[in-house]
Amino acid sequence: MTDTVDAGPAAEAPAVDEVIIRFAGDSGDGMQLTGDRFTTASAMFGNDLATLPEYPAEIRAPAGTMAGVSAFQVHISDHDITTPGDAPDVLVAMNPAALRSDLHTLVPGGTVILNRDTFEERNLAKAGYDHNPIDGDDLAGYQVIEVPMTTLTKDACKELGVKPRDADRSKNFFALGLLSWMYSRPIEATLDWIEVKFADRELVAAANRAAFNAGHAYGETAELGSQRVVVRKAPLEPGTYTNINGNTALSWGLVAASQLSGLPLFLGSYPITPASDVLHELSKHKEFGVTTFQAEDEIAAVGAAIGASYGGSLGVTTTSGPGVALKGEAMGLAVSLELPLVVVDIQRGGPSTGLPTKTEAADLMMAMYGRHGESPVPIVAARTPADCFNIAIEAARIALTHQTPVILLSDGYLANGSEPWRLPEVADLVPIDVVYATEFNQTNEDGEGVFWPYLRDENLNRPLALPGTPDLMHRIGGIEKEDGTGNVSYSPENHELMVHLRHKRIASIPVPDAEVAGDADADLLIVGWGSTWGAITGAVRRIRTAGRKVAHVHLTHLNPLPANLGDLLRSHRRVMVPEMNLGQLSRILRAEFLVDAEILSKVKGQPFTAGEIQHAINQRLDELAGEGS
């Protein structure tokens, strides 16, 4: 076999600097798996990459329909990239519905690889075609490669004793083999993976292997030689890399925070898309002493996390927007109790059930203001899938060192998207110092030692005495309490003092200054937060490569905001804020700094492309040039 399926980049294949491939098919066609395997092979080969999985909310939408189309877009390159690409160069369409739903995303002149076997009456009708697009002019202007993938897969499996129905399920590996050939991907990783994954199902392993090899061989035998290219390794910083998605990185970050603080990790959670994978991942890591509690509802999940935190664990709850809404009252309790708590919100399209499997970043206002009373909490946001690791540690660090609930914002795009991640050295991670009270901190009228749970230190933080600590018994609660003693107090003056103290202690949490990427002296400043980092960074690079000036500030800390942000905003003529909402950060910036921060909004359940932001930047720069300086 090895002589026909050459693993290395073919010496004769011409090199391209990048390619964007979109695998699209029915939910049952295994497109997520196919994309994931192609990604892993590319990552291990040494490309830089970014991915965008897109799948329907239904587990099995009616087969063959537009509603059932599942797609996986991957961008691979020989240089540093930050997005899964504006428009695919190649569309792999496993059925007519996939072609109909995703053809418009393809670049003009792009390549369509389709499974010809599925372009028959029944599937065409399900996709809503009244004709066969292969015969019409739908595909004019594209390079079309028609492959009878189902037939060839079944033929390849015939000798193995695999039932035709089972063989049909392996056609995604045929597509993977063909694409692996076209882009000169190494094949060992994929073949090894098949061995391990289907170790106890030899027939399935054999069928997938045969399909993969058949697809790979097809490239050569069908004289697709002119299509074959190579995407060389990217000059990544030396180190050990793994390909990581946001939810896995976030889970590992929480485990790391537990190790760095020496506190056991307690996760209270309730299943919700797209956050459930964090619950799944952490449930696997009992070797780290992680306790996962799948609660009866979102409220119990946060309640249990608060209880565990009160007992001395690192209390965490993970959810998506609707769950945060349900947890609001308990978060108010944690604000009042001044207990550490990490609330992870993997945002999705809303309101209500909205678009559970699609991305949006419209929970910032809820994170900032979505609780009763004056109840400020620190907010941090991850910018890339791998960054979710750092942000999880940062959220835990703030929670534990400032005794407060912290909201961590991620989104569906980061959660499921992946990128190569240079692994940090564990020794370089900064420990989190947690101090619990063990002694009296005050003397009563009789000269006896007493413990005051709300006696504040220089950072306005109160001491935490864990239950079990001798002599420091005390009561805390959601009723307003007297500063210092912590006793129930309805005094007007005390309440005003406490409202101000709770505000001040959060507002004065030190956060790093915002850093400017691009041209500090540019007329136009782009301010972003969260997962728009990739698209903004890509756009800013293109603008600057074209010789125009633009500056970019990306916020990790959204509450409190960096101290230098106001000056940065005021030092540019125009400020634009790309957001996957109708203008939430931009409104905060306007309110806080009285600057005319303009929203660039996208709420399609999909991330921005770099091209969209590039276009908007160019428009603004043209206007600024027109205005003169």
The 610-629 contact track toward another protein, x by CB under 8 A, reads --------------------
Which of residues 174, 212, 270, 293 is near another protein by CB under 8 A?
Answer: 293
Of the candidate spans 363-371, 464-472, 508-516, 570-578, the one that interacts with another protein by CB under 8 A turns out to be: 464-472
Q: At what angle do helices 171-182 and 188-197 cross, to 10 degrees?
A: 160
Nearer of residues 238 and 547 to another protein, judged by Cβ: 238
- Please, what is the minimum distance in Å from the beta carbon of residue 311 to another protein? 4
Of the candidate spans 23-31, 260-268, 404-412, 603-611, the one that interacts with another protein by CB under 8 A turns out to be: 260-268
Q: What is the DSSP string of 543-585?
A: HHHTT---EEEEESEEESPPTTHHHHHHTSSEEEEEESSSSSH
- Please, what is the minimum distance in Å from the beta carbon of residue 518 to another protein? 26
- Please, what is the minimum distance in Å from the beta carbon of residue 463 to another protein? 11
Which run of H or of E encompasses 76? strand 69-77
- Residue 578, token pair as written in the block: 């790309």
Secondary structure class of 291 (helix, strand, coil): strand
CB 399 within 8 A of CB 573: no
What residues from 82 to 121 belong to the interface with another protein (CB under 8 A)?
none
The 417-456 contact track toward another protein, x by CB under 8 A, reads -----xxx-x--x----x-x-x------------------
Secondary structure class of 51 (helix, strand, coil): strand
By CB under 8 A, tell whether 44 contacts another protein: yes
By CB under 8 A, tell whether 290 contacts another protein: yes
Task: Provide the CB-side half-sphere exposure for 261 (13 A, CA).
Answer: 28
Q: How far apart are CA 542 and CA 549, in angstroms?
A: 10
By CB under 8 A, tell whether 474 contacts another protein: yes
- Please, what is the minimum distance in Å from the beta carbon of residue 43 to another protein? 7
Kindly tell me the sign of the dihedral angle through the C-alpha atoms of 279, 280, 283, 284. negative
By CB under 8 A, tell whether 467 contacts another protein: yes
By CB under 8 A, tell whether 415 contacts another protein: no
Which of residues 329, 496, 513, 592 is near another protein by CB under 8 A?
Answer: 329
Q: How far is CA 82 from CA 169, 386, 514, 552, 609, in A?
A: 33, 12, 20, 14, 10
Q: Which residues have C-beta within 8 Å of that of residue 415, sequence separation ≥ 6? A: 245, 246, 247, 250, 274, 275, 277, 346, 385
Which of residues 244, 391, 568, 621 is near another protein by CB under 8 A?
Answer: 244
By CB under 8 A, tell whether 287 contacts another protein: yes
By CB under 8 A, tell whether 608 contacts another protein: no
Q: What is the DSSP string of 337-406?
A: HT--EEEEEEE-B-STT-BTTS-----HHHHHH-SSSS----EEE--STTHHHHHHHHHHHHHHHHTSEE
Which of residues 81, 304, 398, 511 is near another protein by CB under 8 A?
Answer: 304
By CB under 8 A, tell whether 313 contacts another protein: yes
What residues from 485 to 514 belong to the interface with another protein (CB under 8 A)?
487-488
Which of residues 5, 182, 210, 333 is near another protein by CB under 8 A?
Answer: 333
558 phi, psi to nearest 5 deg:
-105, -15
Which of residues 28, 46, 566, 611 is near another protein by CB under 8 A?
Answer: 46
By CB under 8 A, tell whether 312 contacts another protein: yes
